[in-house]
Amino acid sequence: MKRLLRRMTGAALLDVETFEEVEADRSALGQAALVVVLACASIGAARAWHGFQAGFHAEHLAYQVLLSVIEPFALWIGGSAFAFMLGASFFRGPHTQTDFAEVLRTTGFAFAPALLRGLLVVPPATLGLAIDLLARAWTFAAVVVAIRQALDFTTPRAMGTFGVAALLLWLMLWGASVAPLPF
């Protein structure tokens, strides 16, 4: 447990050594998944609280919470897949040696700042929203560092990989949302 907390703190502080340690530790995938699950729970709890306070109907509240809980997990898996595919092929650097599991481990720990998104419930609402936006930006920065370390990139190359991966993921999700149902 100490090791997990140390790694989460290091990832949240954008510590390169922490990301290198996680990248090299093949047994850290479970820990990385746990960080994402904790972020999902934190976000889901905050959304549930807001929905309850707003008086949402149970079905609407359940739908909102479910989406809030699934979102970080989908972003982790999908974003990591796109970052790996782009980084290992199109944006490959001269020192790039990686596998998908390395990207998953490092980006999973990059979700440590997303735990702060649970503070969305802090009153007044504008303060909670500001904390949520800060946590999102902090998580994006951590993901860029994670991609940089996993793919042995420069920061600009990691930022480009993150940007293109995020765009591809968004296009895929948008396409799925507007596609007609097959039945």
- 49-99 pLDDT, tens digit each: 877 777 777 787 788 888 888 888 999 999 999 999 999 988 887 888 889
Domain residue spans in the chain?
2-172
Task: Report CA-CA distances (Å) from 79 to 9, 48, 87.
Answer: 22, 25, 12
pLDDT in tens, 140-161: 999 999 999 999 999 999 999 9
The sign of the torsion formed by the CA atoms of 125, 127, 133, 139 equals: negative
The H or E element that residue 131 is part of is helix 125-151
Indicate left, alpha or beta for 153 from its phi (over 0: left) and psi (-120 to 50: alpha).
Answer: beta
Please give the Cα distance from 147 to 85 (Å, whole number): 12
Taking 3-state DSSP, the helix, strand and coil percentages for the chain, each rounded to the nearest 5, stand at: 85, 0, 15
